[in-house]
Every structure is written in structure tokens, then in C-alpha cells.
Structure 1
Amino acid sequence: MLLNVSYSDKDITRKIDASVGKPFPLRERFAMDGIGSPKLFITETSVEIQNLLILDNNLNSCNIELRPKGIIVRFRSLLETYGLVIPYYKLTLYKGDMAVHSIHMDHHYIKVISDTKAVQKFFKKLLDQKANNTPTSIEDL
């Protein structure tokens, strides 16, 4: 789900926590060697996200936060911050040619440049988290 996360709203926080879990505790963040991605540069997006990004002339970039049951892809448009909340069971990752990773959920997608070792290391960590935390049956949801 695509949400405006600029302001502290308890309803939006509850939706996010229900979908991808509460943020990792500090101890787990250190054990995982961080839960956030480096700055990712966006090359292509789905129509709904593109309509938000074209509102300003800034360089399109995003970051990814790992959560226990999913990820949040955050990006800015004008003075607002938007979050694409993706549970692991809906997350699909593709690695394209020319060092591009594609993040898909339902009809939303974001393609980002993954040309550095830090970005590639983060995507490996993301794939490991997805493999360890994706439900294996309907009852696990």
C-alpha cells in the first residue's frame, strides 16, 4: 500500500505495523548490522508513483527499511514523504541487466540502480530476511 508518511498519524502507524510488523529493537538492529539501505537512485516506477515523483525537479531517490514481516520503501516528493509498504509474501525482486534491481508488489514497482557493493550487500540481506520470514502456508498469515 502506498501511504503518505510525512506526519505522525496513529492510524497510518497501526496500518504499517499490522502489515509489516513493528520496527526492530535496537539490539537486533546492531546484530543485523543495520536495517536501512544506502541511498537508492530510482530509474523507473509504476504510473501512480511516477505521478508523485514528477511533481518536483529533484533527483529521484529512495531508501528501504527492513521490518520483521516486510519492507517500507520511502521516497520524497515536494515536501511530503511517501512509503510503499510491502509485506514479504507480496514482495518480488528482480535483478536486471546493467546493475538494476526491480522491487514489485501487486501493481506497484520501483527500479533502482544497484551499482555499488553496499547496495548489493543490502539486497542480499533483504533476500535472506524474505526467505526467513515469508509464511509457508496460508495459516501462517
Structure 2
Amino acid sequence: MLLNVSYTDKNITKKIDEAVGKPFPLRERFAMGGIGSPKLFITEASAEIHNLLILDNNLDTCNIELRPKGIIVRFRSLLETFGLVIPYYKLNLYKVDMAVYSIFMDHHFIKVRSDSMAVQKFFRKLLDHRADNLPTSIDDL
């Protein structure tokens, strides 16, 4: 689900928390070695996201936040911040090239590029966390 997360809104916060869980407590964040990705450069995106990104002439970047039941991909357009909220059971992640990753959910996708080893370590952490927290049955959703 693609949401405008620029402003504090109880309804949007509730939707996000229901979909991917509440943010990790500070102690768990330290234990995990951080829950956020380095800066990722967007090379390609689905039509709805692309239409938001072309509204300004800034460099298209995003970052990813880990949550207990999913991830949030955040990016900026004009003066607004948007979040693509992806539960783990809908997340598809592909490594297209040496430094290009594709993040898919339903009809939304974002392809990101980064050459750093920190990004590769983050995606490894993301895949490991996803494997540990995928629902095992329909009742777990």
C-alpha cells in the first residue's frame, strides 16, 4: 500500500502498524545492528511511483525500514514523504544485476542501485529477518 507519510495521522499510523507491525524497540534495534538501509538510488519504478518521482528534479533516492512483519520503503517527492508498506508475505526481492535490486509487491515495484557492501549486508539481513518471520499459515496473517 502506497501512503503519504509526511504528516502524523492516527489512521495512517494504524494502517501501517496493522500491516507490518509497530517499530522495533530501541534495545532490539541495537541488537539487530540497525533497522534502516543506507541510501538507495531508484533506477526504475512502477507507474504510480514513477508519476510521483517525476514531479521534481531531485535525485530519486529511497531507504528501507525493517518492521516485525514487513518493510517500509520511503522516498520523497516535492516536499512530501511517501511510504510503500510491504508485508513479508507480499514481498518479492530479486537481485537483477551486481548492484541492482528489485523490490516487488502486487503491482508496485522499485528497482534500486547501490555499489556498497553495506547495501548487500542490509539485504542479507532483510532476507534473514523475512525468513524468520514469514507467516506459516493463513491464521498467522
Query: What is the aligned-residue identity percentage?
Result: 82
Tell me the amino acid that sits aligned with residue 30 of structure 1. Answer: F
Structure 1 alignment gaps of length 5 or more: none
Tell me the amino acid that sits aligned with residue 12 of structure 1. Answer: I
Aligned length: 141
- In the superposition, the TM-score normalised over structure 2's length comes to 0.99
Where do 4+ consecutive residues of structure 1 move more than 3 Å? none
Residue 93 of structure 1 corresponds to which residue in structure 2?
93
Residue 55 of structure 1 corresponds to which residue in structure 2?
55
CA separation in 2, counterparts of 1:140 and 1:34? 26
| TM-aligned CA deviation for residue 136 of structure 1 | 1.4
Q: Within the alignment, does 1:11 sit opposite 2:11 as a pair?
A: yes
Give per-residue Cα distances to partners, 1:31-57, cap 9 Å, x unaligned. 000000000000000000000000000
Once the two structures are superposed, the pairs formed by residues 44-83 of structure 1 within 5 Å of their partners are 44-83=44-83
Tell me the amino acid that sits aligned with residue 62 of structure 1. Answer: C
CA separation in 2, counterparts of 1:106 and 1:128? 22
| TM-aligned CA deviation for residue 114 of structure 1 | 3.1
CA separation in 2, counterparts of 1:140 and 1:74? 26
Once the two structures are superposed, the pairs formed by residues 22-61 of structure 1 within 5 Å of their partners are 22-61=22-61
CA separation in 2, counterparts of 1:124 and 1:79? 31
Residue 122 of structure 1 corresponds to which residue in structure 2?
122
| TM-aligned CA deviation for residue 140 of structure 1 | 1.3
Tell me the amino acid that sits aligned with residue 108 of structure 1. Answer: H
| TM-aligned CA deviation for residue 98 of structure 1 | 3.8
Q: Secondary structure at the match of 2:55?
A: coil
Aligned-residue RMSD, C-alpha? 0.6
- In the superposition, the TM-score normalised over structure 1's length comes to 0.99
